[in-house]
A and B are shown apart, each in its own frame.
Chain A
Amino acid sequence: MTHYLFYPGCSMQRSARPYLDSLMTIGPDMDMTFEDVQDWNCCGATEYAAVHRIPSYALVARNLALAAQQMNGARTLTAGCSACYLNLAKTENYMRRNAELNLVVNEALAAGNLHYEPGSLQVRHLLDVMVNDVGLEAIRARVTRPLTNLRIAPYYGCMVVRPDLDDHFRSEEYPMSMDRLLKALGAEVIDFPLKTHCCGGHMTQISQPVAFEMIRRLVYGATQYKADLMVTLCPMCQLNLDAYQGEVNQHFKMNYHMPVLYFTQLMGLAFGHEPEALGIGKEFVSARDALARIGVDVPEETAVKRPLHRAKDDPSLPMPYMPEENQ
């Protein structure tokens, strides 16, 4: 049993819940346990540093300090979101390599009675621990439902493989670890030239034409290569490619249909789990047809009704209203 500390990040709590669910489903298959960093805070994504500089490192360092306190023999802190991973890895690396930054950040942490000793943790992405700790042989041995005939475009995005300050992936522009992993699951993996091109990150919130073109390029590329689906390792990449694909189609008057799943979901399928246990069925672009190729039946989606009014005793914070709600 290998024990890992785990930083879930905000998006895995909701929009990327299927990523978390599939990870929790496959963990036991590989004798891995993941323990959440207690009371972790948002890492600030790519936004906090655009407003405050030193505080953006202190924000992340609180998570490192909490994780180090909780270590329990586990030295590896894992994350699944690209931005979460990079923020943790970069803060750890910069504090280790820059004495002045280390001093300032620790002085800020001291205001919360925390301290982080650089080097106490190793920050690694989930893909890295699967491929390098579990290993492809062990993964292959677990496969009960090979992904034969499924053509997959592996999509890594940017921030897991770049800047890769501690050299975990060994190639900043053409990594192969996810390609090899998917091959071990029996899939037909496309040599995808756009695998580390950028999906635009938060650009959908800033300039739609710019964002849509960045998304279109990737979906078009995968379509040209006759992929059945794209596989990602990041909630933001998944959201951009999947949830915005309909709007991209409208914008360019196109008709792309490219399902986008997480690598953990594909591992789960290959290990014989049912789609429900892996959060499959929550995508915007349905993966039903693609997964029928490996004999997996994704149940038709059941629409979830939501209440029109907040219950008086609802303990949650109020949501910003959507226009429909006011009608």
Chain B
Amino acid sequence: MLTNSPPVLTNPSLNFLETVKQATPGDSRLTMCIQCGTCGGSCPSGQDMDHTPRQLFAMIRADMRDEVLRSNTPWYCVSCYFCMVRCPQEVHITDIMYTLKSMAIAADMYETNSAADLSQNFVGYVENYGRSFEFGLATRQYLRHQPLSLMRRASMGLGMLSKKRIDLTPTRIDNLGQLQAILARAKELEAPT
């Protein structure tokens, strides 16, 4: 490793709380949580989640790694940031949800889950074209997860097409090599979990 590399390697003996904290870019303030419950009460997808964000943070503190990574909670987070702006401790809740998603994918611990697939398909498009391919994304997503709704989907798809609102000619960025080099280096610099 180069001498000017920033310290990103984590200590494997860290507890789960420290691991999540270190894996979250920026300052997550996760350890500041006072278990007030404001986050769960503010969450639009709370009723579909296995655990409220508050419960999940208590579980992280209790070192319940596997239960946390298997929870559907992060996958139901729609990034609305209500919790984050209401949290009295300014915990970066939404960022922590992203961290947990990526840790669950890395540990191969998410339940068969269309949200994780969507994210991974999307990453594929970004890394191969530098642009996303909204409609192709939606089509692949539906073929894999909701074949029965395909016909209805298709009619919306055709509507998008006749209204010229889908992308028939996805573009590749000019300097894809540069983007790929940046992402490859960033992956090396990612703290292991």
Contact = CB atoms under 8 A, between A and B. Distances in A.
B186 A39 contact: no
Nearest to A209: B48
Contact of B189 (A54, A56, A163, A197): A54
Nearest to B47: A210
Is the interface on chain A under 10, 10 to 19, 20 to 34, or 35 or more residues? 35 or more
Nearest to B26: A94
Given A104-B6, A210-B45, A41 B131 contact: yes
A108 B180 CA distance: 10
A14 B134 contact: yes
Interface string A46-63: 111111111111110010
Contacts of B190: 52-55
Nearest to B84: A163
A8 B181 CA distance: 23
A317 B118 contact: no
A67 B158 CA distance: 36
A321 B32 CA distance: 50
B179 interface: yes
B179 A48 contact: no
Contacts of A323: 150-151, 154
B25 to A, nearest CB: 5
Interface stretch (B10-18, B52-60, B135-143): B135-143
Interface in B163-182: 163-175, 178-179, 181-182
A259 to B, nearest CB: 14
Contacts of B135: 14-15, 319-320
Contacts, number: 255
Nearest to B150: A323
Contacts of A244: 156
A40 interface: yes
Given A40-B173, A50-B98, A50-B101, A100 B6 contact: yes
Nearest to A46: B79
Interface string B102-133: 10010000000011101110110110011111
Nearest to A283: B163
A158 interface: yes
A44 interface: yes
Contacts of A301: 163
A227 B149 CA distance: 31
Interface residues of B, number: 90
A107 B122 contact: no
B179 A112 contact: yes
Contact of B134 (A10, A105, A201): A10
Interface string B65-93: 00000000011101111101100000000
B165 A14 contact: yes
Contact of B118 (A58, A206, A324): A206
A14, A97, A163, A200 interface centre (most CB from chain B within 10 Å): A14
B36 interface: no
A61 B69 CA distance: 28
Contacts of A284: 156, 159, 163
Contact of B82 (A45, A51, A198, A200): A198
A247 interface: yes
Contacts of B157: 322
Contacts of B102: 49-53
B126 A59 contact: yes
B34 interface: no
A17 B157 CA distance: 16
Which 4 residue pairs spanning A and B have beta carbons closest together? A316-B169, A111-B185, A162-B81, A108-B186
Interface of A: 10-11, 13-17, 39-42, 44-59, 62, 94, 97-98, 100-101, 103-105, 107-114, 158-159, 162-164, 172-173, 197-198, 200-203, 205-208, 210, 214, 243-244, 246-247, 250, 282, 284, 301, 303-304, 306, 315-317, 319-320, 322-324
6 contacts: A10-B131, A45-B132, A163-B85, A206-B114, A284-B156, A301-B163
Given A11-B134, A112-B181, 10 more contacts: A51-B123, A57-B186, A98-B25, A158-B80, A163-B81, A206-B118, A210-B45, A282-B163, A319-B168, A320-B135
